[in-house]
Structure 1
């Protein structure tokens, strides 16, 4: 169990893209995200399709 916590902490501190699995709660205009698992998705950064924009 300690190694799982260590992996979660490492993902939180070092990832450039973080996938969060957990519970989304909404009450009125308030939204809470209760994270259950953090997954480092940095290796997939090159796969993102992004349109460039020019702001003038």
Structure 2
């Protein structure tokens, strides 16, 4: 799912250990992201046509 922080919000991405960029990013659907959406911190959007998919980062 592709999510973006709402204006004025800083949202932690626990999978990456950083903040969700203002332009948004693909994340794995989880209870965490559904709670952020329910709390009004993020919005689920369709990625722009030309957006390149994020590369997965290995934690190993």
What TM-score range do you get, normalising by the shorter chain? Answer: under 0.3
In terms of fraction of residues, the more strand-rich structure is 1
Query: Relative CO higher for 1 or 2, CA cutoff 8 Å, sep ≥ 6?
Result: 2
Superposition TM-score, scaled by structure 1 size: 0.26
Superposition TM-score, scaled by structure 2 size: 0.25
In terms of fraction of residues, the more helix-rich structure is 1
